[in-house]
Amino acid sequence: MLAGALGGTLFGPAPAGAVAREIVELQTGVSQLIQGQQNMQTEITQNAAVQRTLIEQSLDSVNKLNTSMSAVQKTTQDFSAASGARLDTMGTQVQGLSDNVSDLQARLGKLDQKLTDIQNTLQNVDSKLASPAAGSAPPAAMGGPGPGGPMPGAAPGAPSASAAGPPASSDVLYSNALRDINGKHYDLATQEFQDYLRFYGDTDLASNAQFYLGEVAFMQNQFQQALDAYNKVIENYPKSFKTASARMRKGFCLAELGQKASAVRELRAVVRLYPGTDEAKRSAAKLREMGATAG
């Protein structure tokens, strides 16, 4: 009986108070779960609002940055265009200054040579004046010719030193030739540049003189003669700053002579070898005029 009583106690239905307590605890847990879900939803909503605000702010910043970059790009393009024009002008001016510097260097070199010659002449005069026999030597002793005879040691018919010498100093001859080109005295300018090359062919301005011989011929529509002159600049003075101009003019002459393929090839070489220069731009313009491309 005692065992039966204990078994009934253990395996019998739970008292009503215990069931009610479990139901209350379950309701409490459900309420807490619902409250936690609501809190989480509120937090998600708040986070979404914050993220949306941040995204809008970022988009606004990106739009402002794009606007700024567009303005900077336009400013850069305008500056590049203006700088390119200024650089072209400066390049032409620099080339002109280079020509002037070369002229000045050549003239200074000749002036120094003249001063040396004058100094040597003065020394010779001083030595002759200091010689006691300078005024009393007979003509034969001084090496002068006898009556009606030639000077000893002189070849019959040989020109005198003044006749064989240059017609003028290098700077005077060069300046006169340039002046005569500007004055359209082409025959005289041609003769002066030829004289310059004959007497001063080893100076810095010799390549200029050869180039201007081509220019004189080109201006008179003597294109084959001009072509020969420009070829001499290219072949004899490869390091001259007139080489680019000579090659450009060579292309022009070839075009005038009807040798279109050779002209196109030469002008394209100028565009490729001397990019950004005035010669390259003029060569490209000539190619377009001929219906050819610069590439």
Per-residue pLDDT of the chain (295 residues; tens, 9 = 90+): 666 655 555 555 556 777 888 888 888 888 888 988 888 888 888 888 888 888 888 888 888 888 888 888 887 777 766 666 566 556 656 665 667 666 776 677 667 667 666 755 655 554 454 444 333 333 333 334 443 444 333 333 333 333 456 677 889 999 999 999 999 999 999 999 999 999 999 999 999 999 999 999 999 999 999 999 999 999 999 999 999 999 999 999 999 999 999 999 999 999 999 999 999 999 999 999 999 998 7
Residue 189: count other Cβ atoms within 10 Å of its Cβ: 23
- Of 213, 216, 224, 212, give the one whose Cα is nearest residue 252: 224
pTM above 0.75, yes or no: no
Contact 206, 197 (CB under 8 A): yes
- Per-position DSSP letters for 221-280, written without gaps between them: T-HHHHHHHHHHHHHH-TTSTTHHHHHHHHHHHHHHTT-HHHHHHHHHHHHHHSTTSHHH
Helix ranges, the chain (H) = 2-11, 16-130, 161-164, 170-182, 186-199, 206-219, 223-236, 243-256, 260-273, 278-289
Q: Say if residue 233 is exposed, middle or buried (CB neighbours under 10 Å; 0-12, 13-18, 19+).
A: buried
Helix, strand, or coil (residue 151): coil
Structure tokens at 275: 């990019």
How far is the C-alpha of 162 from the C-alpha of 168, rounded, in Å? 11
Helix, strand, or coil (residue 283): helix
- Please enumerate in sequence order all residues whose Cβ is within 8 A of that of 180, keeping only pairs 6 or more positions apart, or say none: 186, 188, 189, 192
How far is the C-alpha of 78 from the C-alpha of 132, rounded, in Å? 82
Task: For residue 159, give the DSSP letter.
Answer: P
